[in-house]
Structure 1
C-alpha cells in the first residue's frame, strides 16, 4: 500500500497556492509556497539551486534563532542555560549565529570543542559530553577552560582525576546518570534506559559523587542525564526528571554540593504527521520539578533547533519505470542524507515548482549510489516529477550534512545559509583534488600511466 505525501496538494495553474490547498510544511513559516514556488524565507529555492548546484543543503538562520527563542520563552524565569547539541549540525555559520545569540554549546569530541571555540562560543559556555573521552581530549578541555565535563563512568572519573592532577587544574564535572527511562523513539537514539552505553546507574551515583568530592582535583557540581532524541511524549521527561530530582535531594542529604542539573536533549520535531511537541508543557515540567530546588538548569537541544530549519534540494535525473514500480532518480543520495536508510526515517519530499494537475502516483525516490539501500523515500505518493525538476527534502537541518560521506567518490553537498532575502554559500562543494588531498602513494608503487593510456 502506498503512503501519501501529506505536504502538498495541487492548485490552479499559475496561481499562488492557497493556504487550504497546501498544509504547512515542516519548517513553516520559514519554508513555504508563495506565488507557486517554494521559498526559504524571502529566497526562491530555485535561485539557490542555480547559484550552488544540486544537491545542496539550505538553512534558514531565522528559523534557528526563532527555535532558540522558543526555548527561552518556555523556560522563562528559570535559571536555565541552553547549550546547543552541536552533533546535530556543525556548520560554522550556524554555530556563529547561535554563539552570537548567547547560547552555550554541548560537544562530544575535541574536534567539536575546537569548532565551537572558533565559532565564538566562550569556553565558559562549553559542555563536553560523550562516553569515550580520551586522556588527550580531557587534557585539551581542561586547558581550554570549558565549563565542565559530563562524566559517564567510574573509569572516566579516574581518568579525569589523573589528567587534572597531571596538569594541576581542578576539573569541574557533572555526573551523567542513567535514569532507566525508556522513551518512545527509535532504538538507535534511545539513550536513557539501562541497556545502553550511556551514564551511571542511579544506585551507584551517590558513592561515585562522594568519591569525586573527596578528590582534590575534582569538583563535582551537579548531575546530568539524557534519555534520547526525537521524543514527542512528555511523560518520559517527567519520569526522568523526577528521578534526577530525588538524586539531587539524596546527594544534598549527604552534605554534598549540587548546583547544576543538565537535563539533556530537548523535544522532538514534526517530520510528518506527529503531534506537535508541546514546548510549553516541557517547560512546565521543568519548572514544577526543579523550580524550587535552587539549581541551575542546563538543556541541550539539537534537532529541535535546526532540524526543520533546513532542506536538501535535489534535481531529478531520470524517471524510470521497472518491475511495476516508478523510480525517481535524483542527484542526492544516501551519502548526503543517510537517515532514511539508517533509521527508516520519513522526510517529506515536495516539488519546488508544483505542477497543477500532475497525477499522484506511488514512487521510490532514489539516488545514484550503487546500493539498493540508497533511497530517500519508498512507496511515496506524490505528483510524478519530471526529469530536470527540483525537489525539496524537508526537515534536513539535523543529522543530515553532519552525517554525510563521500561514498562512491561523491563530493559533499554544499551548504547555503538564508537570512531574510539574502543567501550565501557557507560550505562549498569540494573539488576532486581537495577530496584526495590527504592521500599519498608510496614511492615503491609503480607510477600511474599517463591519462588516456590503457
Structure 2
C-alpha cells in the first residue's frame, strides 16, 4: 500500500489499514489489480461492480501456507464466493474444494479440481443432488442417518459405490464465533453421541467411510478459541480412528475470521500457526497417515474484494449530509446490515478517488432503494464528497453478490471482475 493515504482516514476507521493492505494507491486513487475504478468501469461498461484482486488471493494463500504446518491441506469453501473466475483462480492455489449445492459442484469440477478433492456438504441434500455427487465421484459429507441410508439405496440402484465422510456435531462449540454451528441442537451434522452407533452401518455395503468433518463455527477472531476447538476435535478423533480402518482425512473445519468493524482485531495467524504445529506434534500418533484439512472460505477471499459504486447525489436533511450512490443493499446485503440487524456497524469504506484527502464531517451514505434500510455507511468520516466520486466498500470478497437479494426492487444485477 502506498504511503499517500491521509492519516486522518486511517484514524477515523481503525479497521481500514488492514483492509487496504491488499491494494495499491496511486496519486490518491485506489487501484485493484493495477486498475483504477474508472478503468474497471470502462472495461465492464458498468458503474456498480465487485472487483477482485488476483494477487491478493495468491498472497493470502501463500501466507497461510507459510504459517501453517506443511502437512495441512487447504480447501476453499465455494459458497464464500462462487464467481467463476474466482473459483478457477482458487483451484490453482488450494488442495481441494467444499461445495453445498449441485451448481457449486459443477463450478468446482469445471475449475479443474479433481472430483476426489471435492466434498459435498449441507444438511438437506436431495436425492438428485446425491445422485449428482455419486456420478461426479466427489466425497459426500453425510449429515444424518437418514441421508446415509438414502445414499446407500442410490448406490445400490446404480450398482456403484461412494466415498463418504461423517459430519459430526460435537458436544463442544467454537467460542466467540459469529455463527455457532456445533454444540447443542443444530441442523448441521450428526450428534457426537450418535456417531459411534452408526460406524458399523456406514462401513458396510456400498459406502466407504474415508473421513470425518467438524465445522464448529465461523467468523472467529480469537486464536485461542480456534486452537481449543481443534484440540477437542483431535481428542475426539483419538476415539474414532481405531474404529475406522479406511480413514484418509480429518476435516477440522475453519472459522478463521475477518476484521470488518472498528473494534475488530485481525486474527493472530502467527499464534494459530504456532498452535497448530504444537497440536499436530502432540497428536502425531493419532493423525499418522491422515490428511488434516482446513476448510476456509471467507478468510481466503474477503480481503481481495471491493464493492464500488458512484455518488449520484448529495443532500442535507435536518443537519445531516446524505451521500446517495447507485449501489446498495440489493448488491451488498451484509454491509447494509442484513435487512435491519439490531446493531449496525460500518464495514471499512472510503472514497476511492480521495485517499490522500483529510476527512470532513460525518456522512450518511445510502443507496438508491426506496427503503430506509438501504444504508452503506452510517455517520462515517470521509473526505468532502462530490457527485461522481467512487464509493468503495472493502472486505467485500466474500458473501457479497451471491449472498444479496439482487432482484429486490428490480434495480438490476451487479457486475463482477477478477483482475
TM-score under structure 2 length normalisation: 0.88
Deviations 1:86-133 (A, max 9, x none): 001111111111223353111000111011112222212211111111
User: What's the offset of the Cα at 1:19?
Assistant: 7.7
Return closer, same or farther for 1:259/1:287 CA change in 2, 3 Å cut-off. Answer: farther
User: What's the offset of the Cα at 1:362?
Assistant: 1.8
Residue from 194, 199, 216 that aligns with 1:227:
216
User: What's the offset of the Cα at 1:61?
Assistant: 0.6
Partner of 2:68: 75
2:104 counterpart of 1:112: yes
Partner of 2:248: 259
Residue from 45, 70, 73 that aligns with 2:37:
45
Partner of 1:202: 192
Residues 121, 141 of structure 2: 8 Å contact kept? yes
User: What's the offset of the Cα at 1:240?
Assistant: 2.2
Partner of 2:13: none
Partner of 2:360: 360
Return closer, same or farther for 1:150/1:345 CA change in 2, 3 Å cut-off. Answer: farther
Return closer, same or farther for 1:275/1:241 CA change in 2, 3 Å cut-off. Answer: same
Q: How does 1:283-432 map to 2 (within 5 A)?
A: 283-291=273-281, 292=284, 293-294=287-288, 295-339=290-334, 340-342=336-338, 344=344, 346-354=346-354, 360-404=360-404, 405-418=406-419
User: What's the offset of the Cα at 1:22?
Assistant: 6.0
Deviations 1:374-395 (A, max 9, x none): 1112222222412221111111
Partner of 1:246: 235
Return closer, same or farther for 1:268/1:16 CA change in 2, 3 Å cut-off. Answer: closer
Supply the RMSD in Å over aligned alpha carbons: 2.4
2:56 counterpart of 1:63: yes
Deviations 1:192-229 (A, max 9, x none): 2323311222222211223212x211111221111222
Partner of 2:21: 29
Cα distance in 2 between the residues matched to 1:365 and 1:115 = 35
2:152 counterpart of 1:151: no
Cα distance in 1 between the residues matched to 2:240 and 2:3 = 61
Cα distance in 1 between the residues matched to 2:370 and 2:250 = 47
Residues 153, 199 of structure 1: 8 Å contact kept? yes
Cα distance in 2 between the residues matched to 1:275 and 1:356 = 25
Gaps of 5+ in 1: 1-6, 8-14, 419-454
Cα distance in 1 between the residues matched to 2:346 and 2:259 = 10
Larger % of helix: which?
A: 2
Residues 251, 258 of structure 1: 8 Å contact kept? no
Cα distance in 1 between the residues matched to 2:328 and 2:5 = 32
Return closer, same or farther for 1:127/1:156 CA change in 2, 3 Å cut-off. Answer: same
TM-score under structure 1 length normalisation: 0.82
Deviations 1:55-75 (A, max 9, x none): 111110111111112222223
Residues 363, 384 of structure 1: 8 Å contact kept? no
Residue from 93, 96, 100 that aligns with 2:92:
100
User: What's the offset of the Cα at 1:270?
Assistant: 2.4
Deviations 1:1-57 (A, max 9, x none): xxxxxx9xxxxxxx9726856646444433232222111242222321343321111
2:269 counterpart of 1:282: no
Residues 173, 180 of structure 2: 8 Å contact kept? no
| 1:300 partner SS | strand
Deviations 1:258-284 (A, max 9, x none): 331101125112224422212232233
Residues 210, 256 of structure 1: 8 Å contact kept? no
Residues 99, 119 of structure 1: 8 Å contact kept? yes
Structure with max Cα Rg: 1
Partner of 1:436: none
